[in-house]
Amino acid sequence: MSAPLPKRIIKETERLQSEPVPGISAQPHDDNARYFDVIVEGPGGSCYEGGVFQLELFLPDDYPMCPPRIRFLTRIYHPNIDRLGRICLDVLKNNWSPALQIRTILLSIQALLGAPNPEDPLNEAVAKQWKENQPEAIKTAREWTELYAKKK
């Protein structure tokens, strides 16, 4: 039998519902309150604008002593996100602090879509393209957004 859900997770979940962040939603599964279906909208003005990206988020037993595990389910062309949807973001690794929350992490991810950082790449090929021919990379990102991240 699993341990009862910590108050903190209950509180975070409640607040995500009662005060949703614009352009972001996170729904826990009925049968697993530590597993969330996440939707992040591409920020306006970025090459992901208009895209609706699905992610999965899991809170390990040690949470908040360790960061949530999170990855993109929707394919995305981004230098800091690899083919498996894993995200290179400092607050999800070394810079994690237990004071951070699901909502702050999702905001960071949304911000990462608005400001790709090819200097700290996870996806070498994309990062290379981004550095050598940025207009072309942005064009591809737009095409992928159109192709994979548009609501049908």
Residues binding another protein (CB under 8 A): 6-8, 11-12, 19, 21-22, 62, 64-66, 95, 97-99
Minimal distance in Å, beta carbon 66 to another protein?
Answer: 8
Distance CA 44, CA 74 (A): 18
Q: Are 149 and 107 spatial neighbours (Cβ–Cβ below 8 Å)? A: no
Minimal distance in Å, beta carbon 12 to another protein?
Answer: 7
47 is catalytic: no
Minimal distance in Å, beta carbon 61 to another protein?
Answer: 12
Question: Closer CB to another protein, residue 34 or residue 78?
Answer: 34
Distance CA 32, CA 94 (A): 27
Residue 75, CA distances (Å) to 20, 33, 59, 92, 124 in order: 24, 25, 22, 20, 16
Question: Closer CB to another protein, residue 30 or residue 62?
Answer: 62
Q: From the candidates 26, 47, 76, 88, which is the catalytic residue? A: 88
